[in-house]
Amino acid sequence: MQKSKTEFIRLAMSVIEHNSSDEEKSREYLSSQGLNADVIVSETQKKIKKLQMELNAQKISLEMDSANDFEKEAEALVNELMGVEGYSFAKVVKEEELMVNFRNVETLSREDEKNILVKHYTLKLLALKNNGGKP
């Protein structure tokens, strides 16, 4: 029984190999089976593109979830930083070497300062993650 099973598998594999050894033979075989090779190729390409888009969407979703986690961490860090006695936004800007496009940083509201710092630290934490913990 085992021998006949093995022989059948070899026969099937030789037919498959023969029929798929080049494009012309593949098309002939598909035509003999009543199938249109162009339709198969087109539909397969559509399925591949759809799967690629789904994978990309999942990747983006995971990255956004990760970014949200980093944003929460950055917000906690900023809240702690802003709660320290002697906190100065100008000092943090200088220490972190932030590029802030405001003529008079002192006129920013506390909420504006917080938003700027949260964005900065979120990006910084993401960069650390992507660089294996190296700044």
- Residue 68 lies inside a defined structural domain of this protein: yes
110 falls within a domain: yes
Range(s) of the domain holding residue 91: 60-130
Say what the pTM is: 0.50
Pair of tokens at residue 13: 């594999």
Report if residue 34 sits inside a domain: no
Count of structural domains within the chain: 1
Tell the residue number behind the tokens 């920013």, with chain if given. 108
Q: What is the pLDDT of residue 19?
A: 67
Residue 124 lies in a domain: yes
Residue 112 has pLDDT above 80, yes or no: yes
- Cα 4 from Cα 19, distance rounded (Å): 22
User: 12-61, pLDDT tens digit by residue?
Assistant: 777 777 767 777 877 887 888 898 888 988 899 999 999 999 998 888 88
Question: Distance between CA 102 and CA 109 in Å, rounded?
Answer: 12
Residue 51 in domain: no
Is 113 a domain residue? yes
46 domain-assigned? no
The beta strands (E) that lie in the chain are given as none
- Residue 107 covered by a domain: yes
Q: Give the per-residue pLDDT at 53.
A: 93
Q: Which residue has the higher pLDDT, 50 or 103?
A: 50
* Structure token digits, residue 24: 């012309």
Confidence of residue 76 (pLDDT cuts 50, 70, 90): very high
